[in-house]
Amino acid sequence: MNKGVEATINTEFPYLAHATPRPGQLEMIQDGIKALKERNFHLAAAPTGIGKTAASLAAALHVASQASLKKTVFFLTSRQTQHRIVVDTVRQINAMRKGDTPVRLVDMVGQAGMCVQPFAKESPLVFSLLCSQHRKTRSCKPWITPAPGLKRRILASPLHVDELVGISRTHTENGAPAQTCPWKAAREAVSGADVFVGDYNHLFDDGVRDSSLKAMGLSLEDIIVIVDEAHNLPDRIRMTLEKRLTLTMIRNAQIELEEYGGLLAQAMKAPGGETLAVSHDLAVWAFEVMKAARAGFTQLFDGLRRTVSGRDEECPVAVEKVLHVLQRACDEVDGTAGQQHLAPTEKRPVVDAAIRMHTLRDVLASVDVDMEAGDDGNPMEPNAHKVAEILDCVLRFGTSTALTMVFDTKGRDGRITTHLLDPGLVSQPVFEKSAGAVLMSGTLYPPSMYANILGLPSARTTSVAYPSPFAAMRRPVLVAKDVTTKYSERSPDNTALIRRHLQALIDETPGHVAVFAPSYAMLNDMVDQGRFSGVRVMVEQREWTKNDLDQIVDTLLAEKEAGRKILLAGVFGARLSEGVDYHSGALDAVACIGIPNSPPSVLSKALKAYAEDRFGRNLAWKYTVSQPAINAILQAMGRPIRAIGDRALIVLLDRRVTDRTYTTCFPDDLRMNEASDPVSTARFARRFFGRVHRSDAADGQ
On whether residue 649 sits in a domain, the answer given is yes
Give the start-end residues of each E strand in 366-443: 403-408, 415-420, 437-441
In this prediction, residue 16 has a pLDDT band, given cuts at 50, 70 and 90, of: very high
Q: Output the pLDDT for position 216.
A: 94
Domain check: are 459 and 482 in the same one?
A: no
Domain check: are 355 and 409 in the same one?
A: yes
**pTM, two decimal places:** 0.89
Domain check: are 519 and 593 in the same one?
A: yes
On whether residue 251 sits in a domain, the answer given is yes
CB 638 within 8 A of CB 443: yes
542-570: average pLDDT: 90
Task: Give CA torsion, residues 84, 90, 93, 97, to 10 deg.
Answer: -140
Domain check: are 634 and 539 in the same one?
A: yes
In this prediction, residue 408 has a pLDDT band, given cuts at 50, 70 and 90, of: very high
**For the chain, counts of helices (H) and of strands (E):** 29, 20
Domain check: are 436 and 500 in the same one?
A: no
CB 264 within 8 A of CB 344: no
Burial (CB count <10 Å: 0-12, 13-18, 19+), residue 661? middle
Which domain range does residue 86 map to? 3-240+425-465
Residue 347 in this model has a pLDDT that exceeds 50: no
Domain check: are 453 and 498 in the same one?
A: no
Q: Which range among 2-16, 186-200, 419-433, 534-548 shows the weakest confidence by mean pLDDT?
A: 2-16
What confidence tens digit (pLDDT) does each residue in 239-251 have?
999 999 999 999 9
Q: Output the pLDDT for position 107.
A: 96
CB 82 within 8 A of CB 32: no
Domain check: are 9 and 147 in the same one?
A: yes
Measured CA to CA, the distance from residue 638 to residue 655 in angstroms comes to: 20
Helix axes 182-189, 206-216, angle to 10 degrees: 70
In this prediction, residue 289 has a pLDDT band, given cuts at 50, 70 and 90, of: very high
Query: How many domains does the chain divide into?
Result: 3
Q: What DSSP element (H or E) covers 255?
A: helix 247-267
- Mean pLDDT, all residues of the chain: 89
On whether residue 701 sits in a domain, the answer given is no
On whether residue 72 sits in a domain, the answer given is yes
Domain check: are 616 and 676 in the same one?
A: yes
Choice between 27 and 541, residue whose per-residue pLDDT is larger = 27
Counting Cα atoms < 13 Å in the Cβ hemisphere of 85 gives: 23
On whether residue 419 sits in a domain, the answer given is no
Domain check: are 279 and 328 in the same one?
A: yes
On whether residue 7 sits in a domain, the answer given is yes
Last residue of a domain, one of 465, 481, 496: 465
Contacts of 452 (CB under 8 A, 6+ apart): 424, 615, 619, 623
Task: Kindly report whether the peptide bond that precedes residue 446 is cis, defined as omega within 30 degrees of 0.
Answer: yes
Measured CA to CA, the distance from residue 190 to residue 71 in angstroms comes to: 11
Counting Cα atoms < 13 Å in the Cβ hemisphere of 580 gives: 33
CB 195 within 8 A of CB 104: yes
Domain check: are 376 and 402 in the same one?
A: yes
Domain check: are 236 and 339 in the same one?
A: no
116-125, 188-197, 465-474: which is most confident: 188-197
Q: What DSSP element (H or E) covers 690?
A: helix 678-691
On whether residue 696 sits in a domain, the answer given is no
On whether residue 508 sits in a domain, the answer given is yes
What confidence tens digit (pLDDT) does each residue in 140-196 have?
998 988 888 899 999 999 999 999 999 998 888 877 888 889 999 999 999 999 999
Q: What CATH number is associated with residue 197?
A: 3.40.50.300
Amino acid at 265: A
Domain check: are 652 and 512 in the same one?
A: yes
